[in-house]
Structure 1
Amino acid sequence: MTKGLTRGDYDERLGRVRDYIYDHLDEDLDFARLAEIACLSPHHWHRIYHALHGETAFATVRRLRLHRAAYELRQTTMPVERIAERAKYDSAAFARVFKEQFGMPPARYRREGVYAEPGCNRNEEGSPMREIEIRQAPPLTVAGIPHRGPYMEIGRAFDQLHNVLTTRALYGPSQHNVAVYFDEAAITPPADCRSLAGRSVRPAMPIASPLERLELAGGEHAVLRHRGPYAELGAAYDWLFGVWLPGSGREAADRPCYEIYINTPMDAAPKDLITDIYLPLK
């Protein structure tokens, strides 16, 4: 009798596909090759992938390439034509697709970012007005996948987390994705930065490898709501620590910041993403 596949088998096989996609984004991906890597029927593997990821493999590749393109536009001087080429678009198609997802053409996004949108409120100096409030946050139990490397690459760990939670049927109501950042990126080599891609869970939920449990303390937090692409979160942190905190009369607690994601790239365009940044206070 042929041994049947377990949920863990599916998680492991599609994990290989996930890793292959991340490692070969610059290549023309062959979806028959992805089925081969997954050791699943080419006829059915697309349906299995979609059921476990919430999007098709094609949508995953497209999302990751555009996310990388947004980062390159804001954080590098790479020519737009080269960024489009790396995303597998000609210049005209890239401009069209990027505008659909980010609300403006690539060149304008490079200059101004999403806060150039007409609906964005600004202060007297012309800087964007950011939403911040002081909250009493409850303690939070997080089940997550550890990530070591540049913080902008934590999406890879989130994809693995999604696979594990789906195959183990651990998704539940009132949960959110949570990211915790343990090192100061300004003084830590990118390759050594430690973070956790997690999901808020019930305190009593059993957590087994590869998931790790993390307990986040409750208490008073400054909560900054960021609207827009993850590529611009760095600017939000700069404002939080460089503008708001020095003028607030408050002091940061000796605990890491964390992010709670109100939506995700699988259900919202980059320009519509909502992220709450939690800064623990003394």
Structure 2
Amino acid sequence: MTLNDPGSRQRYETRLNRVLDHIYDHLDEPLDIDRLAEIACLSPYHWHRIYQAMYGETVATTVRRLRLHRAAGYLANGSMPIAEIAERSGYSSLQSFTRTFSAVFGMPPAQFRKAGTHRRFRPAESGGDQMVMRDVVIREVPVMEVVSVEHTGSYMQIGKAFDTLIGWIAARGLFSPEMRMVGIFYDDPGVVPEAELRSRAGVVLPRRVEISAPVSMTSIPAGEYAVLRHKGPYGDMQAAYQWLYGVWLVQSGREAADAPCFEEYLNNPKDTPPSELLTDICLPLR
């Protein structure tokens, strides 16, 4: 068997995808390295090195990052007590959670809830620093052929599909500066039950490649799109969508096209502070 044997490579991908699924589905539980090794069916001495080589970060870093991004979503979009968020994020004390959250997000959790970037999209609460119509630009987008992995469930969990996709790309040496990361979202979370929400984690590559499961090809249709650039944590974007649809679209005189919206991620959450993450939210127009 050679190092480039596709069967061997796919077995590693399948094993580590099981690990990722378990991590995403058990973020409230303590990190058990030995249990993850069992799920991967790999040696507990070596599997985490394979994981880091394929995903670019340690498994502990993955868990910490996912818990903190989820915590930001809880703070921006709900009223869960901060002490409960800290506990669900794996911190033994509110103080340690506050310290870590402040270091990553640039402000403590209570301040983030009151003054995070999501507040810009709520004029009554923004203190004047609110979004205006000119914050949206109309852009002509060509058809985009997207290598993608399907996801069903909470949009906040689409990272599971992205990690599967990134592992698939890394194993084939397809990373390049020209590739573009996108997420395609098919359903309205205000109407469709969370467990049934459909989305795709995708990447636009500079050249055509041979596709194999769990990856497939999908297209983003060409046309005019209203593009709102969001700066800040992904957990903040629910308010951005509400403003884009409820304020901008209604006042613009335009109508949404019969096609899904998509997001383009302009930097990498693994090496970018959450406050500096840039996302283009793209709404198709007639």
Please say whether Structure 1 and Structure 2 have the same fold, judged by a TM-score greater than 0.5: yes
Question: In 2 relative to 1, CA 108–248 (structure 1 residues): closer, same or farther, beyond 3 Å?
Answer: same
For 2:139 and 2:126, the matched residues in 1 are separated by: 23
Query: What TM-score comes out, normalization by structure 1 length?
Result: 0.91
For 1:227 and 1:68, the matched residues in 2 are separated by: 17
Q: Residues 50-89 of structure 1: CA distance to partner in whole angstroms, max 9, x if unpaired?
A: 1101110000010111111111112222211111111122
Q: Equivalent residue for 1:105? A: 108
Q: Equivalent residue for 2:149? A: 145
For 1:1-282, list aligned pairs within 5 A. Answer: 6-89=8-91, 90-114=93-117, 125-128=128-131, 131-202=135-206, 204-282=208-286
Runs of 4+ more than 3 Å apart: 122-126, 128-131
**Shift of residue 41 of structure 1?**
2.6
Query: What TM-score comes out, normalization by structure 2 length?
Result: 0.89
For 1:146 and 1:24, the matched residues in 2 are separated by: 20
Q: Residues 14-46 of structure 1: CA distance to partner in whole angstroms, max 9, x if unpaired?
A: 111111212222221121322232222323222
Q: AA paired with 1:176?
A: R
Identity %, equivalent residues: 49
1:7 partner SS: helix
**Shift of residue 126 of structure 1?**
4.0
Question: In 2 relative to 1, CA 266–33 (structure 1 residues): closer, same or farther, beyond 3 Å?
Answer: same
CA contact (8 A) 1:178 1:260 kept: yes
Aligned length: 277
Q: Residues 237-260 of structure 1: CA distance to partner in whole angstroms, max 9, x if unpaired?
A: 111111111222222211110000
> Which 5+ residue runs of structure 1 have no aligned equivalent?
none
> Which 5+ residue runs of structure 2 have no aligned equivalent?
none
Quote the RMSD (CA, aligned, Å).
2.3
**Shift of residue 92 of structure 1?**
1.0
Higher alpha-carbon deviation: 127-136 or 258-267: 127-136
